[in-house]
Each structure stands twice: as structure tokens, then as C-alpha cells.
Amino acid sequence: MTKKIVNSDLLITEIIKGIEDVKGENISIIDLREIENTVCDYFILCDGTSNTQVSAISASIQKNVSKSLKDKAWHVEGEANAEWILLDYVNVVVHVFQKHVRQFYNLEELWGDGKISNIETAY
């Protein structure tokens, strides 16, 4: 089974909207296209204040992408405990963290060779 690849820019826009709809915090995009042998083109990271909010962010992203782009995540992990939910859209991988888990794994430092952009939110 082959998954169609949605335009990364459109996908990122819809993912960010999904995060903002439920007030996800500290949104960052890591552009990995200049790094050899990466698993995807972009990581999007954000955090929520509780497992309830992390679940809500994940659900909002999935709903928004499905509704707007008629696409769904290829794979989703971490929904059971909602400390770190990963949504794999093939060319874009979304990481929704509880704050302490994001600080512990520190993906921004691990993938520091990528270009990191922070998204300003209106709230």
C-alpha cells in the first residue's frame, strides 16, 4: 500500500492550525532537508500542559489535516499515556509533548544541524 505525499507547506500550515486551535505551546519547526539520511523533511514540535491537552492537540491536528487535506497520519504512537504523541505524515513528523518530556529528550539539540524556526502564537 502506497501513501500519497501531501505538499509539505500545506501540511505544515494545517498542522500549525490544529495545534493553535487547542492552544498548544512552544511550536517549533525543524527543517531537516539539508541533513543527509533523515527520516523526513520536517519535524514539528509543540507541548501541552497535561496529558489531556497533549491528546487534544493530537486529535485537533488529525481532524484538521483530515478535513482540510483529506489526509491522515501514516502512523501514530504514544496516545495511550499522552506524554509524547508522534504523528507520522511521512514527509512531516509531529511530536506533541508534555513539557517535562520535551525538555528531557531535547530534540532541538539532538537535531541541531537542522534549521529551527519558532512559531509565535497569538495567545
Q: How many residues does the chain have?
A: 123
Q: Which tens digits make up the pLDDT trace of 9-65? A: 999 999 999 999 999 999 999 999 999 999 999 999 999 999 999 999 999 999 999
Please tell me the class of the 8-118 domain.
alpha beta
Q: Domain boundaries in the chain?
A: 8-118
Q: Which tens digits make up the pLDDT trace of 78-115? A: 999 999 999 999 999 999 999 999 999 999 999 999 99
Please tell me the pTM assigned to this model.
Answer: 0.93
pLDDT at 68: 95
User: In angstroms, rounded to a whole number, what is the distance separating the alpha carbons of residues 28 and 46?
Assistant: 6
